[in-house]
Amino acid sequence: MSEDREAQDDELLALASIYDEEEFRQAQSAQGGEIQLCLELPPDFKIVVKGEKQSEYDVSFLPPLVLNFELPADYPSIASPIFTLSSKWMTRAQMSTLCRRLDELWEENQGCVIIFTWIQFIKEEALDFLGIQSPLEVIRGGNKPGGERRKTDPAATALTQTGSQSEKAEEKIIKEKKEKSEAQLTPCSHLDQRAVLLREPHVDILPQLLDFDETQRQRVFDSKVFCCGICFAEKMGANCLCFKECQHVYCQACMTEYFQIQIRDGNVQCLNCPEPKCTSVATPLQVKQLVDDELFARYDRLLLQSTLDLMADVVYCPRTSCGTAVMVEPDTTMGICTACQYAFCTLCKLGYHGLSHCKINADELRNLRDEYLSATTQGQKFMEQRFGKRVIQKAVEESFSRDWLDENCKGCPRCGTNIQKVDGCNKMTCTSCKQYFCWLCLGHLSRVNPYGHFNNPGLPCYNQLFHGVDIDDDEDDFWSDEED
């Protein structure tokens, strides 16, 4: 008995020295403990979700199998350890098969300590032993509400939900065991009572699998050493940031400064990987971990605004005290703010004016035209959706008309009517209000003696009546002025 006790103490001490506290916990009141066993998955291991649309996920870790054991007083000389095997993702049939294999390993090594052998088998050989291969099928949510339960194949390698049918089968087996006074269930078709399923029948197992994989990946990353691509200092992964799409790694100190500068400048869409030509972008969670609350609030607000700016049917209320995002109907220029009830024109941002022309200045109209004409086909479609194709066409035509008028016409100094000078002298008559004015300085001319303006030596237009006029000596009619 003393030899058995000494062997047990040595085995438990060895396990405590090999595995950390999260993996192995020794029992306080008995000779035994609990150990978490993460199976070693092959590279590029995937899980498949079956449903309306099939989805695949790459995983590097699956939730551990939990081995609880207690060492009898006559272990290892005579008795085998008493144990249970638990899992969140294996079927009870698969765990029952593993339990029987652990019994076989004990029989092959009876008289020797066996826990470490069991651990190595489960971690390194369990997948091959059970025939579990990638992709591993996950049926989300177990059974369909109000529908028939899914049938579970005990020999299947896919991850399935056993449900109450398996529970009933287990109860039946346990009852038969008691009646026959058997030590354990040996037929392959039976479920072992030492196999414990650690999930409820209707719980969706997929989020648990993905969350565990993400946590374990981060733990592995935190324990490695990386060279920052900016400051070239070697730091632990716990002090680094890894862009998820490209896997480029930089230290948190460099990325914190980089994010702060970009957010203060309003470039929230440019928090991308510093690697040249890399398009990976930091996730909001990564940004939140590196900047203070005030900067993150600004980042969050600007990110939402930039997202709304990319939506063709969203404009902002032009009132400076409001600025609420407003949904607009296609091919219309009217927007109604849901917050302040202000009805406005989406083109000129003034009060809605129906079919009347927008009171938009030439520069704004020209900018809209230039933006449309220089945009890509996709960009033009976006502007047409936002402002309406008819509105855009009208803006382009009106802008070109205004440019032509600015280049070829001058406004009457009295009524503002656009006047084009085709030929003749620089004494002009407005076609609208009949005002005489000088084409050169736009000064008003006397109706009694309009030419006196050009004969006054004290004025800049002195002797400039025919300035800029191409005179053809062969055309005598040019010198006549019947009206004057």
Element (H, E) at 454: helix 452-455
CATH number, residue 202: 3.10.110.10
- Mean pLDDT for the stretch of residues 451-460: 86
More confident of the two residues 138 and 257: 257
Banded model confidence at residue 378, pLDDT cuts 50, 70, 90 = confident
Instruction: Say yes or no to pLDDT of 116 above 80.
Output: yes
Banded model confidence at residue 310, pLDDT cuts 50, 70, 90 = low
47 φ/ψ sector (left φ>0, alpha ψ -120 to 50, else beta): beta
Banded model confidence at residue 163, pLDDT cuts 50, 70, 90 = very low
Mean pLDDT of the chain: 79
Task: Estimate to the nearest angstrom the gap between the alpha carbon of 34 and the chain centroid.
Answer: 40
Residue 323 forms part of a structural domain: no
Q: How far apart are CA 139 and CA 105, in angstroms?
A: 32
List the catalytic residues.
425
Instruction: Say yes or no to pLDDT of 130 above 60.
Output: yes
Banded model confidence at residue 299, pLDDT cuts 50, 70, 90 = confident
Instruction: Say yes or no to pLDDT of 230 above 70.
Output: yes
Range name among 115-129, 154-168, 463-477 with the lowest pLDDT average = 154-168
Residue 301 forms part of a structural domain: yes
Residue 315 forms part of a structural domain: no
Within this chain, do residues 435 and 350 fall inside the same structural domain, yes or no? no
- 252-264 and 293-309 are packed helices; what angle lies between their axes, rounded to 10 degrees? 60
Range name among 77-81, 296-300, 303-307 with the lowest pLDDT average = 303-307
Nearest to 439 by CA among 428, 447, 423: 428
pLDDT score recorded for residue 477: 47
As for how many domains the chain has, the answer is 4
More confident of the two residues 423 and 145: 423
Check: CB of residue 143 under 8 Å from CB of residue 163: yes
**Placement of tokens 């049917």 in the chain:** 313
Within this chain, do residues 29 and 168 fall inside the same structural domain, yes or no? yes
CA angle 453, 472, 458 (to 5 degrees): 15
Q: How far apart are CA 17 and CA 35, in angstroms?
A: 13
- Mean pLDDT for the stretch of residues 257-281: 86
pLDDT score recorded for residue 106: 92
Amino acid at 208: Q
pLDDT score recorded for residue 309: 66
Residue 316 forms part of a structural domain: no
Residue 270 forms part of a structural domain: yes
pLDDT score recorded for residue 82: 92
Banded model confidence at residue 204, pLDDT cuts 50, 70, 90 = confident
pLDDT score recorded for residue 446: 82
Give me the DSSP letters along 102-130.
HHHHHHHTTTS--HHHHHHHHHHHHHHHH
More confident of the two residues 322 and 142: 322
pLDDT score recorded for residue 312: 64
- Mean pLDDT for the stretch of residues 394-407: 74
| Boundary residue ending a domain (342, 375, 409) | 409
Instruction: Say yes or no to pLDDT of 305 above 80.
Output: no
424 φ/ψ sector (left φ>0, alpha ψ -120 to 50, else beta): left
More confident of the two residues 318 and 398: 318
CATH number, residue 270: 3.30.40.10
Banded model confidence at residue 14, pLDDT cuts 50, 70, 90 = very high
Give 320's contacts (C-beta < 8 A, 6+ positions apart).
none
Within this chain, do residues 64 and 79 fall inside the same structural domain, yes or no? yes
Within this chain, do residues 400 and 419 fall inside the same structural domain, yes or no? no
More confident of the two residues 449 and 163: 449
Residue 471 forms part of a structural domain: yes
Instruction: Say yes or no to pLDDT of 37 above 60.
Output: yes
Q: How far apart are CA 443 and CA 458, in angstroms?
A: 14
- Mean pLDDT for the stretch of residues 308-314: 69
Residue 48 forms part of a structural domain: yes
- Mean pLDDT for the stretch of residues 355-379: 74
- 389-408 and 377-387 are packed helices; what angle lies between their axes, rounded to 10 degrees? 100
Tell me phi and psi for residue 35, to 5 degrees.
Answer: -130, 135
354 φ/ψ sector (left φ>0, alpha ψ -120 to 50, else beta): left
| Boundary residue ending a domain (409, 436, 470) | 409
Give the pLDDT confidence of 80-113 residue by residue, as tens digits. Answer: 999 999 998 888 889 999 999 999 999 999 889 9
Tell me phi and psi for residue 179, to 5 degrees.
Answer: -65, -40
Nearest to 299 by CA among 256, 346, 264, 348: 264
Check: CB of residue 192 under 8 Å from CB of residue 99: yes
Within this chain, do residues 24 and 71 fall inside the same structural domain, yes or no? yes
CA–CA distances in Å: residue 431 to residues 5, 419, 457: 119, 8, 29
Within this chain, do residues 29 and 144 fall inside the same structural domain, yes or no? yes
Containing domain of residue 131, as a range?
A: 2-209
Within this chain, do residues 483 and 443 fall inside the same structural domain, yes or no? yes
> Three-state DSSP class for 59?
coil
pLDDT score recorded for residue 31: 87
Within this chain, do residues 187 and 276 fall inside the same structural domain, yes or no? no
Residue 216 forms part of a structural domain: no
Tell me the residue length of the chain: 484
pLDDT score recorded for residue 150: 37
Check: CB of residue 312 under 8 Å from CB of residue 382: yes
- Mean pLDDT for the stretch of residues 193-220: 84
Within this chain, do residues 289 and 395 fall inside the same structural domain, yes or no? no
pLDDT score recorded for residue 146: 37
